Amino acid sequence: MTGRFAGKVALVTGASSGIGRASAIAFAREGAKVVVSDIVDESKDETVPAIKAAGGEAIYVQADVSKATDVERLINVAVRTFGRLDCAHNNAGIFGNFAPTADCTEENWDRVVNTNLKGCWLCMKYEIPQMLKQGGGAIVNTSSFAGLYGSPAAPAYCASKGGIVQVTRTAALEYATAGIRINAVCPGSIRTPLVESLIAAGYPETQMAANHPVNRIGEPHEIAEAVLWLCSDAASFVTGVPMPVDGGWSAM
């Protein structure tokens, strides 16, 4: 396939749903060979069939990003299959339970921080050595508006997403001269199963939309576009940035 990422290999975690799925499909549309990874069973993944139906190339690798052995295997399979790794979108994440700080359980804290923050770090830990061998690469981590600002009843989520901003900045500084650019996207509210479940549970979409100066929630492909730009050569002078993609919310 032709496109901005022709000849390149891209890995996306949390790619069976929502933002990750949109990003994986966009990378494939732009010519990348895509490693689609998620914790769900291969039989439940609809992203790889969608990419193949559109003429793209992709494999599915099941991995739990909170487990080092899974992530190491994921990168090994990616490189064994496609020979290299040029772009990585470390996106897998969970929101956890809604509860204020004093009511947040240890179980919720560990689950959310292990999936979101430890998972992001583990992905970089195993992606970076491969990119160093190749002489460069681009990584985008999914943080959140909640990684930049407080959000009541989500202490573990905010801590994990704020932590992602800091490991992004730190790794960007460490590998800047090695040709590896590392950035983050900080989405506002995006129409994915997570947000749809909140709407279905009675949280009015109009209220959610009103947080954003553009007065609507975002769509997964709008985050994917930012991820692809950050991974592309057009962003060659951009590294260490937590980029809000939030309809202006963070400007308030």
Mind telling me the catalytic residues?
A: 157
Nearer to ligand NAD, 16 or 239 (CB): 16
Q: Is 136 helix (H, G, I), strand (E, B) or coil?
A: coil
Distance from chain centroid for Cα 125: 15
Does position 85 interact with ligand NAD (CB under 6 A)? The reply is no
Closest approach, Cβ 49 to ligand NAD, in A, equals 15
Does position 91 interact with ligand NAD (CB under 6 A)? The reply is yes
Does position 137 interact with ligand NAD (CB under 6 A)? The reply is no
CA-to-CA separations, 89 to 34, 152, 182, in angstroms, rounded: 11, 27, 10
Question: Which residue carries 């800091």 as its tokens?
Answer: 166
Q: Which residues of 217-249 are buried (b: 16+ CB within 10 A; e: fewer)?
A: bbebebbbebbbbbbbeebeeebbbbbbbbbeb
Among the listed ranges 1-9, 46-54, 166-174, 193-201, the one in contact with ligand NAD (CB under 6 A) is 193-201
The C-alpha atoms of residue 80 and residue 19 are separated, in whole angstroms, by: 26
Among the listed ranges 9-17, 46-54, 99-107, 229-237, the one in contact with ligand NAD (CB under 6 A) is 9-17
Among the listed ranges 61-69, 73-81, 96-104, 226-234, the one in contact with ligand NAD (CB under 6 A) is 61-69
Nearer to ligand NAD, 157 or 175 (CB): 157
Among 94, 165, 227, 230, binds ligand NAD (CB under 6 A): 94
Does position 195 interact with ligand NAD (CB under 6 A)? The reply is yes
Among the listed ranges 62-70, 74-82, 121-129, 148-156, the one in contact with ligand NAD (CB under 6 A) is 62-70
Extract the tokens encoding 154: 């989500």
CA neighbor of 147 nearest in space, from 168, 172, 164: 164
- The torsion defined by the Cα of 47, 52, 53 and 55, in degrees rounded to 10, comes to 130
Does position 18 interact with ligand NAD (CB under 6 A)? The reply is yes
For every residue of 17-60, DSSP letters joined together read: SHHHHHHHHHHHHTT-EEEEEESS-GGG--HHHHHHHTT-EEEE
Among 12, 24, 28, 39, binds ligand NAD (CB under 6 A): 39
Site for ligand NAD (CB under 6 A): how many residues?
28
Site residues (vs ligand NAD, CB under 6 A): 13-14, 16-20, 38-40, 64-66, 91-94, 115, 119, 142, 144, 187, 189-190, 192-195
